[in-house]
């Protein structure tokens, strides 16, 4: 149906001079029709962050005095590295930039990369582009339409962001630059991902390359912001398009000219991509397809080795998450303690009634590390169900491998991996906390959550035995509910007895509560019981692919 549309329009439209753009508008409509839900969700979710974050910051820093106090301490290395140089922390607009600008810019860059690949290289890989191109469609029409539609997302998202800033009665000039700078970052990565989609022959390769470039540019600007003297920008910043967008400085200097550089990058990227498209064959890339080893190592053929290999990406990314979160939280703990009004509802809900605000905040950070480790545990054990659902378990069990040994490999990786994550995350929080706590103190506090994490491991194991088809979604749902209650139970005015009846709420926060071993024992016993039942049932039931 969509193909037919493209075709008839292509015929109806007068051919352009070279003919390579014949069918451009039909392609635009086709791409919008195929992606409109995604486009709307991206634009609305990103823009909606503005009022949400603005209101929470207004609550956290209700008075100009509070904001001035925050401005004194905002410029920590952790803040500079993660979210950029705080150059106007004494105003609500400036605080909004610190809290959300980097998230929005990076998210929009991700959206650009994924959407350009989805409509470009992924379609070509699946053979759909070939079918379109066999009709009266110019060589560049579809690609250019793709870049235009995804670029349009950046423009619309930027415009919405500006409008919502204005709606919050933020300064006009700053509001406009806020939206424009974020849109500029998105547009720059339309250009980058356009080239990636021409270089790689697979959609996975195109996405990986795009995200890798984004990561490099992010770290270049992080290094630049760490090098900065006060609010004075470092020259390194100009080596990253994210740096260019940052240097538009909404609610600060409100500079417009870096936007030109961002637009130039977008246009140049698309132009180069189209040029490559002219010179390459349909379906081919410029980069060679990556080959792998023809042999499996001794390690890989061991059940535990195979699970480690299959879980490598989650293991590394969650571990990195624990490291970055640990360093960041440790770094901002002192600053946050000084900045937050201890009496505000916001502070109380988060840190509890602890007399010592700093300990309360460190307790929250340790809990956060535990939630990361719990997520890894759930992902690793539900990975076992994925193997079964996708039919790969049958071939393995047809070898001389028992079911319990196979499942045990997943449990081992999940249990040891999460323990390491807890120790590392806790330790780094302590080390980075400038003496608020020692590394070993917080490593111990984090490790106290291991029984709760083991429970997050026992639940999917039990489900793997008894409800295999539902196990993945149920396990994540139970994890999600546990997280929400542990993090926000106080904000929802849940009673302490309810919170401490949930896995992560049951663990005493070493820093603030009197430490008792009993809850840890109870959690461990439940976890082991669920796991044993799950193992027993799994060893005795039919293997059920999806």
Q: Does 400 bind other proteins (CB under 8 A)?
A: yes
By CB under 8 A, what part of segment 112-141 binds other proteins? Answer: none
- Any long-range contacts for 358-364 (C-beta under 8 Å, 24+ apart)? 358/333, 358/334, 358/436, 359/511, 359/512, 360/511, 360/512, 361/333, 361/336, 361/337, 362/333, 362/429, 362/433, 362/436, 362/437, 362/442, 362/445, 362/511, 363/445, 363/509, 363/510, 363/511, 363/512
Between CA 102 and CA 86 the distance in angstroms is 11
Stretch touching other proteins by CB under 8 A, among 2-10, 392-400, 427-435, 440-448: 392-400
Cα angle 227, 233, 236 (rounded to 5 degrees) comes to 60
Stretch touching other proteins by CB under 8 A, among 22-30, 322-330, 390-398, 454-462: 390-398
DSSP state at residue 238: G
Tell me which of 11, 41, 320, 401 binds other proteins, using CB under 8 A. 401
Stretch touching other proteins by CB under 8 A, among 56-64, 177-185, 387-395, 409-417: 387-395
CB nearer to other proteins: pick between 229 and 295:
295
Tell the smallest beta-carbon distance from residue 127 to other proteins (Å): 13
Between CA 89 and CA 97 the distance in angstroms is 9
Q: Does 309 bind other proteins (CB under 8 A)?
A: yes
CB nearer to other proteins: pick between 230 and 292:
292
Tell me which of 105, 116, 310, 436 binds other proteins, using CB under 8 A. 310
SS3 content of the chain, % helix, strand, coil (to 5): 75, 0, 25
CB nearer to other proteins: pick between 220 and 307:
307
Q: Does 172 bind other proteins (CB under 8 A)?
A: no
Tell me which of 12, 173, 416, 541 binds other proteins, using CB under 8 A. 541
CB nearer to other proteins: pick between 18 and 539:
539
Tell the smallest beta-carbon distance from residue 200 to other proteins (Å): 13
CB nearer to other proteins: pick between 33 and 392:
392
CB nearer to other proteins: pick between 6 and 384:
384
Q: Does 467 bind other proteins (CB under 8 A)?
A: no
Between CA 187 and CA 356 the distance in angstroms is 46
Q: What are phi and psi of 229, to 5 degrees?
A: -95, 110
CB nearer to other proteins: pick between 36 and 299:
299
Q: Does 390 bind other proteins (CB under 8 A)?
A: yes
10 Å CB burial of residue 524 (0-12, 13-18, 19+) is middle
Tell me which of 12, 40, 172, 204 binds other proteins, using CB under 8 A. 204
Q: Does 212 bind other proteins (CB under 8 A)?
A: no
Stretch touching other proteins by CB under 8 A, among 106-114, 151-159, 188-196, 302-310: 302-310
Stretch touching other proteins by CB under 8 A, among 65-73, 93-101, 527-535, 537-545: 537-545
Between CA 79 and CA 329 the distance in angstroms is 10
The DSSP annotation for 149-166 comes to: HHHHHHHHHHHHHHHHHH
Q: Does 17 bind other proteins (CB under 8 A)?
A: no
Q: Does 469 bind other proteins (CB under 8 A)?
A: no
Tell the smallest beta-carbon distance from residue 543 to other proteins (Å): 4
Q: Does 306 bind other proteins (CB under 8 A)?
A: yes
CB nearer to other proteins: pick between 255 and 301:
301
Tell the smallest beta-carbon distance from residue 404 to other proteins (Å): 10
CB nearer to other proteins: pick between 159 and 389:
389
Structure tokens of 139? 């060589």
Do residues 117 and 196 make contact, with C-beta atoms less than 8 angstroms apart? yes
* Per rule CB under 8 A, count of chain residues that contact other proteins: 31
Query: Taking Cα atoms as reference points, which of 245, 275, 298 lies closest to residue 105?
Result: 245
Q: What are phi and psi of 170, to 5 degrees?
A: -80, 160
Q: Tell me the per-residue interface mask from 275 to 294 with other proteins, x by CB under 8 A, - otherwise.
A: --------------xxxxxx
User: Taking the CB of residue 396, how many other CB atoms lie within 10 A of it?
Assistant: 14
CB nearer to other proteins: pick between 232 and 293:
293
Q: Does 396 bind other proteins (CB under 8 A)?
A: yes
Between CA 197 and CA 74 the distance in angstroms is 40
- Any long-range contacts for 4-8 (C-beta under 8 Å, 24+ apart)? 5/29, 5/30, 6/30, 6/132, 6/135, 6/137, 7/135, 7/136, 7/137
CB nearer to other proteins: pick between 1 and 400:
400
Stretch touching other proteins by CB under 8 A, among 11-19, 361-369, 393-401, 507-515: 393-401
Query: Taking Cα atoms as reference points, which of 364, 378, 375, 332 lies closest to residue 507?
Result: 364
Q: Does 399 bind other proteins (CB under 8 A)?
A: yes
DSSP state at residue 281: -
Residues that bind other proteins in the complex, under the rule CB under 8 A = 202, 204, 289-296, 300-301, 306, 309-310, 390-392, 394-402, 540-543
């Amino acid at each position: 149906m969509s193909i037919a549309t493209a075709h008839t329009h292509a015929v109806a439209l007068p051919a352009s001079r070279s003919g390579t753009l014949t069918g451009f508008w039909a392609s635009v409509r086709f791409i919008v029709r195929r992606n409109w839900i995604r486009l709307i969700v991206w634009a609305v979710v990103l823009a909606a962050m503005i009022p949400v974050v603005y209101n929470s910051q207004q609550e956290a820093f209700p008075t100009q005095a509070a904001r001035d106090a925050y401005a004194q301490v905002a410029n920590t290395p952790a803040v500079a590295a993660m979210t950029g140089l705080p150059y106007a922390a004494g105003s609500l607009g400036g605080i909004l930039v610190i809290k959300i600008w980097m998230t929005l810019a990076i998210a929009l860059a991700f959206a650009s990369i994924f959407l350009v690949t989805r409509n470009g290289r992924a379609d070509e890989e699946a053979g759909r582009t070939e079918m379109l191109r066999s009709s009266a469609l110019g060589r560049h029409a579809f690609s250019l339409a793709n870049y235009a539609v995804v670029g349009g997302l950046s423009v619309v998202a930027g415009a919405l962001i500006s409008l919502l800033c204005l709606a919050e009665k933020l300064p006009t000039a700053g509001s406009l630059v806020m939206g424009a700078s974020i849109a500029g970052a998105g547009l720059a990565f339309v250009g980058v991902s356009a080239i990636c989609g021409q270089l790689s022959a697979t959609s996975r390769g195109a996405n990986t390359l795009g995200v890798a470039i984004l990561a490099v540019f992010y770290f270049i600007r992080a290094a630049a912001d760490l090098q900065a003297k006060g609010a004075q920008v470092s020259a390194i910043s100009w080596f990253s398009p994210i740096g260019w967008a940052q240097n538009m400085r909404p609610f600060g200097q409100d500079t417009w000219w870096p936007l030109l550089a961002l637009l130039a990058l977008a246009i140049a990227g698309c132009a180069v991509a189209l040029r490559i498209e002219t010179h390459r064959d349909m379906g081919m890339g410029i980069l060679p397809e990556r080959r792998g080893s023809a042999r499996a190592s001794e390690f890989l053929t061991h059940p535990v080795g195979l699970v480690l290999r299959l879980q490598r990406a989650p293991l590394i990314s969650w571990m990195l998450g624990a490291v970055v979160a640990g360093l960041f939280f440790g770094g901002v703990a002192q600053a946050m303690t000084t900045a937050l009004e201890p009496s505000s509802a916001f502070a109380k809900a988060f840190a509890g009634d602890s007399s010592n605000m700093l300990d309360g905040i460190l307790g929250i950070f340790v809990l956060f590390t535990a939630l990361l480790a719990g997520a890894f545990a759930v992902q690793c054990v539900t990975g076992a169900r994925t193997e079964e659902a996708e039919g790969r378990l049958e071939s393995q069990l047809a070898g001389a491998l028992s079911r319990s040994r196979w499942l045990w490999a997943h449990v081992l990786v999940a249990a040891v991996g999460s323990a390491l994550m807890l120790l590392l995350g806790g330790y780094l929080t302590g080390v980075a906390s400038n003496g608020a706590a020692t590394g070993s103190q917080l490593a111990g506090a984090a490790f106290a959550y291991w029984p709760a994490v083991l429970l997050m491991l026992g639940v999917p194991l039990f489900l793997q035995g008894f409800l295999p088809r539902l196990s993945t979604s149920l396990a994540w749902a139970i994890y999600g509910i546990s997280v929400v209650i542990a993090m926000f139970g106080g904000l929802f005015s849940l009673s302490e007895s309810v919170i401490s009846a949930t896995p992560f709420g049951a663990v005493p926060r070493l820093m603030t509560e009197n430490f008792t071993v009993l809850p840890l024992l109870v959690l461990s016993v439940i976890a082991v019981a669920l796991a044993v039942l799950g193992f027993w049932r799994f060893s005795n039931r039919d293997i059920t692919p999806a």
